[in-house]
């Protein structure tokens, strides 16, 4: 005698009651986790653990002044990592992004200081240089057929020389323009910080509600309203706490100067995050990037101009590197031959991978760069407060990067085994 194999109408609970949409959503999320789609969870968990450990070991880590430092400290690397996402999604690599940022920063500083260009013209020139660099790299990779590793390794070496030539053999070129310096060294008025926070939360809520309604109209499964409300509520709490802390007085002597408000570089990062996310997630071009990164031949047969997509990704990457160079020049108040060098590239690639972008292509979000950049900045900052040497920082950052790459490889294997890829 055999038992019945008919499925239960209530989704398996056997109680006869319809399953709650929230419960079904949670089950679906857990199923995706088991299938290897970990999303941002590893980076978020790592960030929480690191912040907890450093806060216990060094209470100063949670001070308002140090919290503001984290943003300015990690901004340049995060911006460069945002650009690298576009290349990594294709399954390519750009090893020259760090020194490309240095070359663009040198162009900016030389035009501002030695040729008295206005800041907007110098910024435009730096961005154009970044675009040209990306165009050359992209053509060599897509049209000539040289592997991106080789092309960008050659550029990595060449740009060090270009940077030395621009700053005339290693001199330090000061940046005195008040607009450029304000990017990493000035803060928004406290009320402006609150207004931007309210606008960010409201915008996030509108986007999610509209997306749910759009999916419902097309007969697709939509996120339960309770989950959407929870997301919006959590974002409101996190953003509100961040603005509250940053609006505290951070100056050691308020008689001389006051230091309050959200650093200007924060809304710059948010704007780049929103634009990059929109391009990747909401435009046909973004979908083409994922298609080419997932399967180049299939994308070509689907009618996508693969070469143009690959070239454009390098252009975006180098242009973002130029913006990262401008942010770095603003923070340092100067540019020298080491700007964009040292560990900048390694930290940027590490930030993208730690955040969840796959080195195998086809998977990545601009948000990954922000989360990974935060992890890298927290490690660097926290270990600095604890008095560890640069050598220990490199070892720990490298171990975290290996862990992230290991999670990526295991997730990919599980996804393939589960038939999700």
Candidate ranges 77-81, 354-358, 417-421; pick with highest mean pLDDT: 77-81
Q: Is 418 helix (H, G, I), strand (E, B) or coil?
A: coil
Count other Cβ atoms within 10 Å, centred on residue 373: 30
| Per-residue model confidence (pLDDT) at position 11 | 44
The predicted-structure confidence for 152-176, as pLDDT tens digits, reads as follows 999 999 998 898 888 887 788 888 8
pLDDT at 183 over 60: yes
| Per-residue model confidence (pLDDT) at position 398 | 79
CB burial readout 69-88, b (16+ within 10 A) else e:
bbbbbbbbbbbbbbbbbbbb
Rg (CA), the chain: 23
Mean pLDDT of 352-374: 86
CB 168, CB 250: distance < 8 Å: no
Task: Using the 3D structure, point to which of 262, 286, 314 is the last residue of a domain.
Answer: 262
Residues 6+ apart with CB under 8 A from 397: 347, 350, 376, 379, 380
Counting beta carbons within 10 angstroms of the beta carbon of residue 179, is it exposed (0 to 12), middle (13 to 18) or buried (19 or more)? Answer: middle
395 and 319 in one domain? yes
| Per-residue model confidence (pLDDT) at position 16 | 57
Q: Report the C-alpha gap between 56 and 380 in whole angstroms.
A: 16
Q: Report the C-alpha gap between 388 and 250 in whole angstroms.
A: 25
Q: Report the C-alpha gap between 111 and 120 in whole angstroms.
A: 11
52 and 193 in one domain? no
Mean pLDDT lowest among 6-20, 115-129, 142-156, 237-251: 6-20
Helix/strand/coil percentages in the chain, nearest 5 = 70, 0, 25
| Per-residue model confidence (pLDDT) at position 421 | 56
> Is 13 within the bounds of a domain?
no
Task: Note the helical H segments in 252-305.
Answer: 265-282, 284-294, 296-301
> Is 118 within the bounds of a domain?
yes
Return the C-alpha torsion angle 397, 398, 400, 405, nearest 10: 140
Residues 6+ apart with CB under 8 A from 156: 95, 96, 98, 99, 345
The predicted-structure confidence for 13-65, as pLDDT tens digits, reads as follows 445 566 777 787 787 877 777 776 777 788 888 889 989 999 998 888 888 88
Instruction: Give, to the nearest 10 degrees, the angle between helix 284-294 and helix 306-332.
Output: 110
| Per-residue model confidence (pLDDT) at position 244 | 93
191 and 283 in one domain? no
Residue with tokens 């240089």: 129
Strands 334-335 and 173-174: antiparallel
Closest CA to 133 of 335, 311, 336, 345: 311
> Is 3 within the bounds of a domain?
no
Q: Report the C-alpha gap between 137 and 84 in whole angstroms.
A: 13
161 and 305 in one domain? yes
The predicted-structure confidence for 274-309, as pLDDT tens digits, reads as follows 999 999 988 999 999 999 988 888 989 989 999 999
When the pLDDT of each residue in the chain is averaged and rounded to a whole number, the result is 86
| Per-residue model confidence (pLDDT) at position 59 | 86
Q: Place 8 in a pLDDT band, splitting at 50, 70 and 90.
A: very low
Mean pLDDT of 113-128: 94
174 and 45 in one domain? yes
CATH of the domain at 404: 1.10.3470
pLDDT at 419 over 80: no
| Per-residue model confidence (pLDDT) at position 418 | 63
Domain of 174 in residue numbering reads as: 41-181+270-408
48 and 105 in one domain? yes
282 and 142 in one domain? yes
Mean pLDDT of 114-129: 94
Task: Using the 3D structure, point to which of 262, 294, 321 is the last residue of a domain.
Answer: 262
Q: Place 420 in a pLDDT band, splitting at 50, 70 and 90.
A: low
309 and 242 in one domain? no
| Per-residue model confidence (pLDDT) at position 18 | 64
| Per-residue model confidence (pLDDT) at position 405 | 74
> Is 14 within the bounds of a domain?
no
386 secondary structure, DSSP code: T
The predicted-structure confidence for 61-110, as pLDDT tens digits, reads as follows 888 889 998 999 889 999 999 999 999 999 899 999 999 999 999 999 99
> Is 417 within the bounds of a domain?
no
pLDDT at 2 over 80: no
Domain count of the chain? Answer: 2
174 and 191 in one domain? no
Residues β-bridged to residue 263? 187
294 and 177 in one domain? yes
Mean pLDDT of 328-333: 92
232 and 121 in one domain? no
Q: Report the C-alpha gap between 319 and 100 in whole angstroms.
A: 9
124 and 52 in one domain? yes
């Amino acid at each position: 005698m055999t038992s019945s194999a008919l499925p239960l109408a209530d989704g398996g609970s056997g109680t006869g009651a319809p399953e709650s949409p929230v419960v079904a959503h949670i089950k679906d999320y857990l199923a995706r986790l088991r299938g290897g789609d970990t999303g941002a969870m590893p980076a978020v968990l790592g960030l929480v653990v690191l912040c907890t450990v450093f806060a216990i070991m060094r209470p100063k880590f949670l001070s308002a002044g140090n919290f503001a430092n984290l943003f300015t400290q990690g901004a340049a690397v995060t911006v460069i990592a945002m650009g690298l996402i576009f290349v990594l999604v294709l399954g390519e690599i750009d090893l020259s992004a760090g020194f490309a940022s240095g070359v663009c920063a040198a162009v900016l500083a030389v035009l501002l200081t030695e040729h008295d260009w206005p800041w907007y013209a110098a910024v435009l020139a730096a961005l154009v240089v970044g675009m040209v660099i990306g165009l050359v790299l992209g053509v060599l990779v897509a049209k000539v057929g040289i592997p991106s590793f080789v092309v960008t390794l050659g550029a990595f070496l060449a740009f060090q020389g270009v940077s030395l030539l621009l700053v005339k053999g290693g001199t330090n070129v000061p940046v005195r323009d008040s607009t450029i310096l304000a990017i990493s060294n000035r803060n928004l008025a406290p009320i402006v910080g609150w207004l931007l926070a309210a606008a960010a939360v409201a915008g996030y809520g509108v986007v999610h509600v509209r997306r749910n309604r759009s999916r419902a109209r097309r007969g697709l499964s939509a996120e339960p309203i309770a989950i959407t409300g929870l997301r919006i509520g959590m974002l409101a709490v996190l953003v509100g706490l961040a603005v509250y802390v940053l609006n505290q007085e951070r100056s050691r002597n308020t008689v001389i100067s006051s230091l309050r408000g959200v650093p200007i570089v924060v809304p710059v990062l948010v704007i780049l995050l929103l634009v990059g996310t929109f391009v990747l997630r909401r435009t046909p071009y973004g979908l083409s990037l994922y298609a080419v990164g997932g399967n180049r031949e299939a994308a070509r047969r689907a009618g996508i101009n693969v070469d143009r997509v690959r070239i454009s990704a390098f252009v975006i990457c180098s242009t973002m590197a130029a913006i990262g160079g401008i942010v770095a020049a603003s923070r340092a108040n100067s540019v020298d031959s080491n700007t964009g060098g040292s560990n900048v590239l390694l930290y940027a690639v590490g930030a993208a991978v730690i955040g969840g972008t796959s080195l195998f292509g086809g998977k990545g979000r601009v948000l990954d760069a922000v989360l990974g950049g935060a992890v890298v900045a927290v490690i660097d900052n926290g270990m600095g407060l604890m008095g560890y040497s640069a050598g220990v920082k490199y070892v720990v950052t490298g171990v975290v990067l290996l862990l992230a790459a290991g999670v990526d490889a295991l997730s990919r294997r599980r996804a393939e085994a589960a038939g999700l890829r």
